[in-house]
Structure 1
Amino acid sequence: MSILAFTDLTKTVAGGRTLFTRITASVEEPESVALIAPSGQGKSTLLRLLALLDAPTAGELRLEGKAASGWQPQSWRRRAAYVAQQSVMLPGSVAHNLSTCSRLHDTPFDRELAARLMEAVSLSSTDWEKNADELSGGEKQRVSLVRSLLGEPAVLLLDEITASLDQHCKLAVEKLLTEMQAAAKATLIWVSHDLEQARRVSSRVWFLADGSLADCGTEDFFRRPPSLAAERFLSRQGRNEDAGEGGP
């Protein structure tokens, strides 16, 4: 039984533009997958489809062997949790946000686990009574991640979740998540523009371009790009990095 799978997935957006057509992939055991694509190819859209936050034009989604049509959306999203780049805090305190899953599902709030997770993402000194809207962008990203982790999802759909973080906090988040994945507690699907991060955190790459999805091992992707589009993308990214290093 696959943890997460999609078959012949197609998505057409406003204006009649088709982002991708009949793409297929599956995750059979807990692992870490980097979802990489040039801008505008639909990687965030694909992540939202996998969270049932948007509907495909065609194709089938399955979670833990069960078709999306057989799930209540709220139950699916508890098992496959989407963590957005622009984190939205609920009105109220940090503590109120952290206890969201407990309130939604009528389960006890594990304050001890929440404290350990907050420490792991370098937020141990955060005042839990502080209004969550007063947090910085990077703090909101990490609180949102901890809030999702407290629901114990089988799949984490991570959309540029370290984009607002400094290097120390970025590595702390990576360490927490990769340790969780190694302990087979969650499958991770990361959208990231940071190719070095993608290489660090994943064992597998989904490369989305020109309406198609290539699926390969991470080192294979970087050493032997699976398509001309992937080869051009990596070459362009390399030139951009070189230009950045040479700038003022």
Structure 2
Amino acid sequence: MTVLLAMENITKHRQDDASKILFERITAEIAAGQHVALLGGSGQGKSTLLRIIARLERCDAGEIALHSKPIAAWKPQDWRRKVCYVAQQAVMLPGTVEQNLRTASELHGLPFHEALAKRCMEAVGLGAVDWQKPAADLSGGEKQRTALVRAMLLSPDVLLLDEVTASLDPGSKRLVERCLSEWAAQEEKALIWVTHDLEQAKQVSDTVWFMAEGKLLEHCETAVFFDCPSTDQARRYLQQSRKEEESV
């Protein structure tokens, strides 16, 4: 497979105490069509790592390259069109639903594919939403799905998903998972999902990156990680996560 994005020795210090490491020497790569579940306990820096990959935060050491071209050699706007981040809390821009869907394309000088937008909105369960409705009046789940479609319309090579289904009901969650999986497979897009949902991780990924103790401790096939994790930290994480899911 063709490597799209590569990270080498990415290090980040804690914002509240620059003398302490949040994570260090993260080295990994993702290929076209690869779907990664980024797992680990709270506070490991998973969201921060996504934001660094998206060029929304800076790392303190290390290198990132896209298509073998270092991040510093890319214009920020070009990078963010190729590597797109969708946050857990969706941000709607002022204006209507349609204006939100059009904005990303317009900012990057790309044509707006209305037919594709309609298909994507339908696929995530928003086919009946009035496009002239103020985006601010959408529910939280509707905003999240609209933001996701907005990102997909850019056709990024790498889509970074930060707990994007955490606020969705089970039905909407399944629609989003199916839509993203089908879109990524058809277009050979790479996905990196941050999720605390183990069942979701199994379903949407072929690879797991597991972070603990400030390091990327495991980087392996999804089935291997869940059936036979190689570190004590991963085994404890899976045991604790399963107990928490069973108690809900």
1:11 paired with 2:12, answer yes
Q: 2:87, 2:162 within 8 Å by CA — same for their partners in 1?
A: yes
Which residue identity is paired with 1:124?
G
1:101 to partner: Cα distance: 2.2
Distance across 2 between alignment mates of 1:52 and 1:185: 22
Counterpart position of 2:230: 226
1:218 to partner: Cα distance: 0.4
1:181 to partner: Cα distance: 2.1
Q: TM-score, normalised by structure 1?
A: 0.96
Distance across 2 between alignment mates of 1:18 and 1:237: 25
Which residue identity is paired with 1:182?
A
Q: Match for 1:92 among 75, 92, 95? A: 95
Counterpart position of 1:174: 177
Counterpart position of 2:33: 30
Q: Match for 1:215 among 212, 219, 223? A: 219
Q: TM-score, normalised by structure 2?
A: 0.96
Distance across 2 between alignment mates of 1:127 and 1:170: 21
Q: 2:81, 2:108 within 8 Å by CA — same for their partners in 1?
A: no
Which residue identity is paired with 1:13?
R
Paired residue secondary structure (1:118)? helix
Alignment of 1:25-104 (within 5 A): 25-104=28-107
More moved, 181-190 vs 37-46: 181-190
Alignment of 1:155-170 (within 5 A): 155-170=158-173
- Please list every run of 5 or more consecutive structure 1 residues that lacks an aligned counterpart in the other structure: none
Q: Match for 1:112 among 96, 112, 115? A: 115
Which residue identity is paired with 1:23?
I
**Alignment root-mean-square deviation, CA:** 1.0
Q: 1:205, 1:216 within 8 Å by CA — same for their partners in 2?
A: yes
1:175 to partner: Cα distance: 0.5
1:185 to partner: Cα distance: 3.0
Paired residue secondary structure (2:3)? coil
1:242 paired with 2:243, answer no
1:121 paired with 2:129, answer no
1:176-220 CA distance string (max 9 Å, x none): 111122224310000001110001100000000001112011011
More moved, 188-197 vs 9-18: 9-18
Distance across 2 between alignment mates of 1:82 and 1:225: 28
How much identity, in percent, do the aligned residues show? 51
1:23 to partner: Cα distance: 1.3
